[in-house]
Amino acid sequence: MRAAPLRASLRTIGCRLNQAETALLADRLKKDGYQLVEPGHPTDLLVLNTCSVTESAEKDCRYLVRRTLQHSPHAFVAVTGCYAQTGADALRRVPGIDLIVGTQYKMNLPDYLPPPAALRKQPAPQLLHTRKIDRDDFVLPGAGDYQALNRANLKIQDGCQFMCSFCIIPFARGRERSRRWGDALREAEDLTARGHRELVLTGVNIGQYTYDGRSLLDLIKELERIEGVDRIRISSIEPTTIPDALLDYMATSPKLCRYLHVPLQSGDDGILQAMNRRYTVKEYVAFVEKAVCRVPDLGLGTDLMVGFPGEGEQEFANTLSVASDLPFSYFHVFSFSKRPGTAAARMTNPVRSATVAARRRTLSELSRAKRLAFYQRQIGRAVKVLFEATDDRGLWTGLTGNYVRLGVMAPTDLTNSIREVVVTGAMDGLAVGHLAGC
């Protein structure tokens, strides 16, 4: 009798790039014979892809190890990702971890697991870690394994050397590297062959993509030619790395989504300078004005950070004013988190935590209002939606190219179909409409 396959549970904390990497690891483990199980279900192996961007992300990692060992006390626990790189010593002290894999070896994690017959808990964690991170083969052969068909992340870049003073990513992921041209195209082909219709280009600093003299825009044009690629979406991208040619292409391409997520972080020049960001408020505003002028119906998101050292009332007021004046369709609001080893960790003049929480609330409320206003502007338009699934109200929901979540009632299964929808209304977090021609 053949033994039942070993079960593997993969969990991701953090960004879209981590999700892309977890999906590649899932694909590899499946090929190695593991049966993938849903998070929270009994398992023989936990692979935890961690984040170290904030202290609370690190706490989440330790919590997930404990939670998993409660329902699966014999599970082999392998931890990788940014926290495994920057906090390996702390992780060694967390009971129940068997393998810690730093960034340099992250995508080879399956090679370092004991063979299935010998997969059992270890008396002490094995550590695979180097300070130097320089591998260019930062992906696995194969294609990411995603449960939902519609969208898939495509990792095209890793690392960053912009050295923003608050950011631990350059230490966690190393210098900038771009994915090999042919390798990115091959994964895109595999993903579309599996049925994914939208590819989300991900990396740490994807505007810096360059391979053999070819740019991000060149890659987008090549990806568009792949049969089955219906949409390409650029994930978060630094404002100083977006050339006019990319905006112009976005304005005319039927496949490149009219969507940009461009981190601003602060609307105050003194804070931007202390953050070591590469633009002034004036330059950022000029960029946004140009982008919305060149790209009609652009969906524009941003990241804002509150509580950076030295952010007084006036500095925050400046951020609030820029955030409310610019035509953002939403923002993500983050609280400053002191990351050991970064320049900002040595800065004095911290902001009280109650003030940080209040500022975060203020900006989050403004973001909600902006999103609603953006959704309301879509009313009366016919837009294309890539449908995902039904929500708890029975509405089929999906996203437009410019990142509006839209719901319709429909008698047929719309999973993974792109349909034209006439927008008739908008509420908090959802626009509604009906299928065109119905």
Structural tokens at position 129: 């870690």
For ligand SF4, give the closer residue by CB, 149 or 347: 347
169 contacts ligand SF4 (rule: CB under 6 A): yes
Neighbouring-strand partners of residue 177:
158
For ligand SF4, give the closer residue by CB, 160 or 291: 160
Out of 8, 10, 51, 167, the residue judged to bind ligand SF4 by CB under 6 A? 167
For ligand SF4, give the closer residue by CB, 162 or 181: 162
For ligand SF4, give the closer residue by CB, 59 or 175: 175
174 contacts ligand SF4 (rule: CB under 6 A): no
| Residue 228 beta carbon to ligand SF4: minimum distance, rounded to whole angstroms | 31
For ligand SF4, give the closer residue by CB, 119 or 343: 343
| Residue 206 beta carbon to ligand SF4: minimum distance, rounded to whole angstroms | 11
205 contacts ligand SF4 (rule: CB under 6 A): yes
List the 259-261 sheet strands across, edge first: 259-261, 299-306, 330-335
207 contacts ligand SF4 (rule: CB under 6 A): no
| Residue 423 beta carbon to ligand SF4: minimum distance, rounded to whole angstroms | 34
Q: Is the dihedral of CA 183, 147, 302, 158 positive or negative?
A: negative
Cα 215 off chain centre by: 21
Neighbouring-strand partners of residue 384:
420
| Residue 419 beta carbon to ligand SF4: minimum distance, rounded to whole angstroms | 36
17 contacts ligand SF4 (rule: CB under 6 A): no
| Residue 170 beta carbon to ligand SF4: minimum distance, rounded to whole angstroms | 5
For ligand SF4, give the closer residue by CB, 238 or 388: 238
Interface segment toward ligand SF4; rule CB under 6 A; list 74-82, 156-164, 208-216, 279-287 = 156-164
Count of residues that interact with ligand SF4, criterion CB under 6 A: 10
Out of 59, 74, 120, 163, the residue judged to bind ligand SF4 by CB under 6 A? 163
How many residues are listed for the chain in this entry? Answer: 438
Out of 75, 82, 97, 164, the residue judged to bind ligand SF4 by CB under 6 A? 164
11-39 in b/e form (b: 16+ CB < 10 A) is bbbbbbbbbbbbbbbbbbbeeeebebbee
3 state SS for 255-315: CECCEEECCCECCCHHHHHHCCCCCCHHHHHHHHHHHHHHCCCCEEEEEEEECCCCCCHHH
Structural tokens at position 257: 């989504």
Residue 126 burial (CB count, 10 A): 13
Residue 261 burial (CB count, 10 A): 21
| Residue 263 beta carbon to ligand SF4: minimum distance, rounded to whole angstroms | 7
| Residue 341 beta carbon to ligand SF4: minimum distance, rounded to whole angstroms | 13
Question: Cα separation of 144 and 196, whole Å?
Answer: 11
| Residue 240 beta carbon to ligand SF4: minimum distance, rounded to whole angstroms | 9
Single out the residue of 110, 102, 93 nearest to residue 128, CA to CA.
Answer: 102
Neighbouring-strand partners of residue 201:
154, 234
- Say which DSSP state 58 is in: H
CB 82 within 8 Å of CB 168: yes
Interface segment toward ligand SF4; rule CB under 6 A; list 157-165, 208-216, 222-230, 281-289 = 157-165
| Residue 53 beta carbon to ligand SF4: minimum distance, rounded to whole angstroms | 9
Question: Cα separation of 201 and 223, whole Å?
Answer: 10
139 contacts ligand SF4 (rule: CB under 6 A): no
For ligand SF4, give the closer residue by CB, 342 or 397: 342
162 contacts ligand SF4 (rule: CB under 6 A): yes
For ligand SF4, give the closer residue by CB, 167 or 300: 167
Interacting residues with ligand SF4 (CB under 6 A):
160, 162-164, 167, 169-170, 204-205, 238
